[in-house]
Amino acid sequence: MFEPWLIAPIASIISILAGLYFYYYIDKQDSGTDKMKEIADAIKEGSKTFLKREYSILAVFVAVVGTLLGIILPEPIWLNANPIENISLSLAYFFGAVFSALAGYVGMDIATKANTKTAFAAKKGLNKAFPIGFRGGAVMGLTVVGFSLLGVSIVYFLTGDAKMVLGFSFGASALALFAKAGGGIFTKTADISADLVGKIELGIPEDDPRNPAVIADNVGDNVGDVAGMGADLADSYIASIVAVMLLGTAISPLGETMLIQIPLVFSGLGIFASIIGAFTLRIGENGNPGKALNLGTYLTTIIFGIFTFLASYYLEFPLELWGAAIVGLSAGIIIGFTSDYFTSEGKTPLIKTAEASKTGSATNIITGFSYGLQSVFPPLLGIGIAAVVAYYLCYPLGGQGYAFYGIGMAAIGMLSIVGLIISSDAYGPIVDNARGIAEQAGLGDEVIRITDELDAAGNTAKAITKGFAIGAAGLTVIALLATFQAEVTLALGNLVANGSMTLTTAEIESLVSLSLLEPKVLLGTFIGIAMPALFSSMLMLGVGRNAERMIKEVRRQFKEIPGLKEGKEGVKPDYTRCVDIATTGALRELLPASTVTIGVTLAVGFIGGFQALGGFLAGSIFSGLLLALLMSNAGGLWDNAKKYIETGVHGGKGSDAHKAAVVGDTVGDPFKDTAGPSINTMITVMSLVASLFAALVVQYNLLGILGF
Amino acid sequence: MFEPWLIAPIASIISILAGLYFYYYIDKQDSGTDKMKEIADAIKEGSKTFLKREYSILAVFVAVVGTLLGIILPEPIWLNANPIENISLSLAYFFGAVFSALAGYVGMDIATKANTKTAFAAKKGLNKAFPIGFRGGAVMGLTVVGFSLLGVSIVYFLTGDAKMVLGFSFGASALALFAKAGGGIFTKTADISADLVGKIELGIPEDDPRNPAVIADNVGDNVGDVAGMGADLADSYIASIVAVMLLGTAISPLGETMLIQIPLVFSGLGIFASIIGAFTLRIGENGNPGKALNLGTYLTTIIFGIFTFLASYYLEFPLELWGAAIVGLSAGIIIGFTSDYFTSEGKTPLIKTAEASKTGSATNIITGFSYGLQSVFPPLLGIGIAAVVAYYLCYPLGGQGYAFYGIGMAAIGMLSIVGLIISSDAYGPIVDNARGIAEQAGLGDEVIRITDELDAAGNTAKAITKGFAIGAAGLTVIALLATFQAEVTLALGNLVANGSMTLTTAEIESLVSLSLLEPKVLLGTFIGIAMPALFSSMLMLGVGRNAERMIKEVRRQFKEIPGLKEGKEGVKPDYTRCVDIATTGALRELLPASTVTIGVTLAVGFIGGFQALGGFLAGSIFSGLLLALLMSNAGGLWDNAKKYIETGVHGGKGSDAHKAAVVGDTVGDPFKDTAGPSINTMITVMSLVASLFAALVVQYNLLGILGF
């Protein structure tokens, strides 16, 4: 019999095929002059080297964690009547990690191909270059969602157990966390060093080939932004699906799978909508790339709405669940557009921040930071309202369990079109790189103007997708918090059933309600609030340390290589040395922050018990969303304020206002590209760890043993 | 019969007398040369003008709010069988506002006297100048706590109703909020403008008399820092006392007042301890002022511990409550010292931030901000642990009600020595001003060196007291959250009793438990999280706008007044103009942020009901503590890193590293002196508003009326 959920693997496979189609489309484009190929090769080489070294370190880590997981989960293997479960979970975890690594690799590979081809096509005009940039992004977008949903489907098909899918999700997220931390540190190390020495100290243009850090900077776009944002959205995507599957399991009568299938069906249909969006997206002769990207988003959204409505109607899914998904999707778009308001040209925040640059970098930073603080209000309100509407919409279906399922559906809805979102997002670094190659290969002012225009559209798309990513992560982690609660309830129920505990149903309900006035919850919350701050600080200090090393190297090269500063014919800086420094540094810095994240989560659970752990998750969600929004938006605002001044306002390039704005932009770099976007993944990983270990934490925790 | 709580008014009166004694001690010191008197008069004039104009605006506001309060609280006057209650509450509110204003005025008055006397005494040596600076601070410290506790005692004596004390507390806090916002904007407007044009653009020293903003800068220290921090601690102080009185009322059998008296007794004993500490604090010939301040703190703490132990023993108060107070006090000191770690010379954060200045202002800011993020961890953990320990310590006394009472006692303990804390704190701006006067009046290098040493001790004291203030506010607002819950429980109970609602006790318990998985609580929390960010951003943008106006004026004066830049004999800038700009701007900017705070609190309550309001309070506590700690510590770190470089490290004054550090310091100014410290007051005000309106919100709210 054809089960509806099979739409998911089918859509996944089609998505991967569509990605392949775009891949060959890109592959057959002209890579340009020898000089361009040489630059592109250097970028590709650097990116591959980084990923290879990163993955070989992570392989050890993944192997260790996966083995440990297999030994103690779902319950300690020596206590488990069915130890095959332990092996399955371990395998699911490995599978998730490998899929996540693969998605990062594919994205990086195509991005480093598409950049030079986009630059070369720009010689023939905007409407020739745009599709290459976008389709390069779409390879990433479609394969990432394809692989993700296929992975979920395979694990579910083989085990029939949503808990195993949780293992898969954890594998994917844990790898994503490391990859994003590492990539984020790499990219900003290079970016800051290139800007500080090149632009500020020597006054040479961005992407100038004399700058020894320029290749490292371009490599960073690929290993940080492409692989990074893709991993971010992919891990929220998988996590939201698994959260809803688990919530569905908790409220479904035995043998009934509709509620487990719905998230798979909706996600599959979302992929179809994204594929249609990606194929129809194009611009005319004098088209506006930013508008084209937005139109693509609208179209995909509408198609998704129609598809899922029809599917719900014919498959007799409750329409309330469809409603919740649409609420989530609408909230995502609204959140995206408010992010856009806070970072875009023509709007008050950017105008004021640019103006403040006239009185120096301090006022530029204060103003940008203040608007960053303000920008958290609309998305937090949006996430809160979406959650509440979804809750009340679905509550009548059968109480609180359904209500949380509804919140999960809102997350699913928001993430349904993620294939297109990742495509628009990966487009950004590709055209950014294209601009770099055009500058370094001396393709002339007109080509640079066109790549600049492509780049500007990329930045707008980025602001929107970042808001989207944070909103989606917000709803996903709320759903995961509910999942955690469901797992704890189940575990407590089991303990009562086997006689190790005596609790009434009402007592269990009260215990798992995560009351803010329960001291363990409160303590957990306070620690949770501090975690995203600690995590961000570790990453940013890592960038700082790393950038210091690299800045010294760049300065040394300019001083010691004769003729380099003057741009003497044939004199080339030592690019590889800079790539090496960034690589080694990033790899050294990525482990501590990520292991602290997982370690503290487990420590809070096994010391404070499930109530402390629940509070901890909630606290980290609260401050995580706040800091992620603040850092992403303030960073984007500084970046765009600088770009705005570069168009000639307030004295234009080289003016004091511009110098001040460059400082703001540099401060914003690790905000928006290292710490900000890693926080989402961090809170997702924490939530997944908590759900995985829920049953163990309920049984074994220090405060519990001490009688509190 | 002598009731134990009468210790409170007695201690208050002695405290005010001790303050008066110090006042006359200061008054009879020599004010120095005519030139010094002239400068001091200008500062005093500016401060008085500002306060006068500020208070005349606030008087209108207070009158309106007080009248409205009297009309609708404790219940609408047309429904209240005993309308005298309404009048009492209104009067208590006015009384609180007037007391708060008076405390600010006294502090400002003595600070503007003590500054020049300290500077003049510095000619005779460090050990002559230090006591004047400290005792100037002590006038402020002792009178503020004296007035505060006296006010609480009077209201309690006249009404015998802790609820009326809540009105008093709200009056004091609301005025403090406006005063801090206004003062904070004033002081940083002047500071930033003076630094940017003077130090960065023209390279003239700090406090140079040629700088038109220099008097405004000194005025700012008085209206911002003296009045500001005093108000901050005073309002937490009053709020913690009233919270514990209300929690005591909720759990006491009718007619039993011990639990209502205990906070008054402990606070009274804390005042005695502070007075002893203030009188014994001194330094020897070559003493270290920083050490003297710390020793004073330790001594006061120990005396408080002994006094309260003896009192608890003889008055037969449960010793667990004494334990909770000591837990709070210890936590306060530990939190203070971790703040010190993150901002002090010789410690890693400062060394690294100073080092990062070598690669420019961007790396300086990234590093300082990162350590600021890290610095939130220990205090949040400390507050959390203190709350949990106090909870479990007092739970056995009689369940959850006592447990929360215990958390309140921890806040009382932490705030008990606030008389001494405010004294040390107000010492800072006095010696800062003394340094300014010494520079402007040309008292020579040796005097400046001495005032610099006094100033450095003031900065360390400030870091510690800020940590202390935030910790105390944290525990206080947790206690206020419990108070809110108690008020809601009471209101629901009343509605059940009069038949308008049918709820079982268990249902009421579940409703008021503030479960994080209850959608209204969640929505409230999300909005609450955003509030401190919004509030900070409004204040900081206010500073930015205001500073822009003032910078233009300072630049204009340097350009248009012939001979000013060169320091020609007899040429003086127009100081008054700058003071005027800062005043007008600050007054224009202080109302919106503060009214939004109160307005949104009421809106959330009357739209979402008490669950949303509870979540809202919790959310604002979470993000408020995070942001307050981050901003205060990062700001302090940047400031001290700059000072460290000025001692000659990394090239010393005038080097590129120094210029970079000055930018960091300027960014930190509104962080640490405008937004950071106002957040405490903001969350206290929100908590008080919520408790005051709890009963009304329970009865009337939109979501409730719509049936959710």
ipTM for the whole complex: 0.91
Provide, as residue numbers in chain B, all residues whose Cβ is less than 8 Å from the Cβ of A356: 544, 548
Q: How far apart are CA A86 and CA A74, in angstroms?
A: 6
Of B526, B626, B667, the CB nearest to A529: B626
- What is the Cα–Cα distance from B424 to B458, expressed in whole angstroms? 7
Q: Which residue of B has its CA nearest to A386?
A: B523
Burial (Cβ within 10 Å: 0-12, 13-18, ≥19) of residue B561:
middle
Which residue reads 């302090």 in tokens? B636
CB within 8 Å: B374 and A533: yes
Q: What percent of chain A has pLDDT over 70?
A: 99
Query: What's the mean pLDDT in A56-84?
Result: 86
CA angle at residue A555 from A549 to A556, to 5 degrees?
90
| pLDDT tens-digit map of A146-155 | 999 999 999 9
Confidence (pLDDT) at A115: 86
3-state secondary structure of A542: helix
In the predicted structure, residue B147 carries a pLDDT above the cut 80: yes
Contact A332, A459 (CB under 8 A): no
Q: Which two tokens stand for residue A216?
A: 């490292």
Across residues A292-306, what is the average pLDDT? 89
Q: Kindly indicate the confidence band of residue A578, based on its pLDDT and cuts at 50, 70 and 90.
A: confident
From B392's Cα to the closest Cα of chain A, the distance in A is 8
Confidence band (pLDDT; 50, 70, 90) for B10? very high
H helix and E strand count, chain A:
22, 0
- Does B626 contact A530 at a Cβ distance shorter than 8 Å? yes
As a whole number of angstroms, the distance between CA A520 and CA A3 comes to 44
Q: Does B402 touch chain A (CB under 8 A)?
A: no
Higher pLDDT residue, A123 or B603? B603
Q: Which residue has the higher pLDDT, A12 or B576?
A: A12
**A653, A551, A661: which is closest to A203 by C-alpha?**
A653
pLDDT of amino acid B453: 84
Do B522 and A485 lie within an 8 Å CB cutoff? no
Pairwise CA distance, residues B118 & B438, whole Å: 9
Between CA A487 and CA A490, with CA A489 as vertex, the angle to 5 degrees is: 65
Give yes or no for a contact between A373 and B533, defined as CB atoms under 8 angstroms apart: yes
pLDDT at A1: 54
A371 has a chain B CB within 8 A of its CB = yes
Q: Which residue of B has its CA nearest to A479?
A: B517
Of A360, A506, A543, the CB nearest to B200: A360
CA distance A115 to A139: 13
Task: Tell whether B326 is within 8 A of chain A (Cβ).
Answer: no
Q: Which residues neighbour A314 within 8 Å (Cβ) at sequence distance 6 or greater?
A: none
Three-state SS at A252: coil
Contact residues for B416 (Cβ-Cβ < 8 A; gap 6+) = B266, B267, B269, B270, B273, B304, B308, B325, B329
Please give the Cα distance from B468 to B386 (Å, whole number).
13
Residue B108 has pLDDT above 80, yes or no: yes
What is the pLDDT, as a whole number, of residue B531? Answer: 95
Q: Which pLDDT band holds residue A641 (cuts at 50, 70, 90)?
A: very high
According to DSSP, the residues that pair with A515 across neighbouring strands are B515
Of A367, A377, A506, which has the smallest distance from its Cβ to B541's Cβ? A367
* A533 vs B285: which has the higher pLDDT: A533
A660 CB within 8 Å of a chain B CB: no
Q: Given a cut of 90, is residue A587 above it in pLDDT?
A: no
Q: Please name the residue of chain A whose CA is at the shortest distance from the CA of residue B656.
A: A201
Could you tell me what percent of chain B has a pLDDT over 90? 38
Q: What is the pTM of this model?
A: 0.92
Query: Above 90 in pLDDT, residue A213?
Result: no
Nearest to A531 by CA among B198, A539, B192, B689: A539
Higher model confidence: residue A168 or residue B548?
Answer: A168
Task: Summarize the confidence of residues B531-537 as an average pLDDT.
Answer: 95
In the predicted model, what is the mean pLDDT of chain B?
A: 88
Q: Does B64 touch chain A (CB under 8 A)?
A: no
Q: Say yes or no to pLDDT of B126 above 90.
A: no
Nearest CA in chain B to A478: B517
* Among A residues 284-313, those touching chain B with beta carbons less than 8 Å apart: none
Choice among A218-222, A653-657, B64-68 with the minimum mean pLDDT: A218-222
User: In the predicted model, what is the mean pLDDT of residues A616-630?
Assistant: 94
Alpha helices, H only, B441-518: 445-497, 505-511
The number of residues making up chain A comes to 708
Per the structure block, which two tokens stand in for A282?
């194009």
| Proportion of chain B above pLDDT 70, given as a percent | 99
More confident residue, A301 or A458: A301
User: A536-551 burial string, b = 16+ CB within 10 Å, else e?
Assistant: bbbbbbbbbbbbbebb
Higher pLDDT, A1 or A692: A692
Q: Which residues of B62-83 are buried (b: 16+ CB within 10 A; e: fewer)?
A: beebbeebbebbbbeeeeeeee
B380 or A591, greater pLDDT: B380
Taking the C-alpha atoms of residue B248 and residue B241, their distance in angstroms, rounded to an integer, is 10
Mean pLDDT comparison of A295-304, A507-516, A615-624, B491-500, highest-scoring range: A615-624
Q: Choose the closest CB to B385 out of A362, A373, A523.
A: A523
Identify which of B117-121, B238-242, B340-344, B512-516 has the greatest average pLDDT.
B238-242
pLDDT: which is higher, A410 or A563: A410
pLDDT in tens, B620-670: 999 999 999 999 899 989 998 998 998 888 888 888 899 999 999 999 988
Could B380 and A530 be called an inter-chain contact, meaning their C-beta atoms sit closer than 8 Å? yes
Confidence (pLDDT) at B1? 54
Q: Looking at residue B498, what is its pLDDT?
A: 86
Bridge partners of residue B515, in order along the sequence: A515
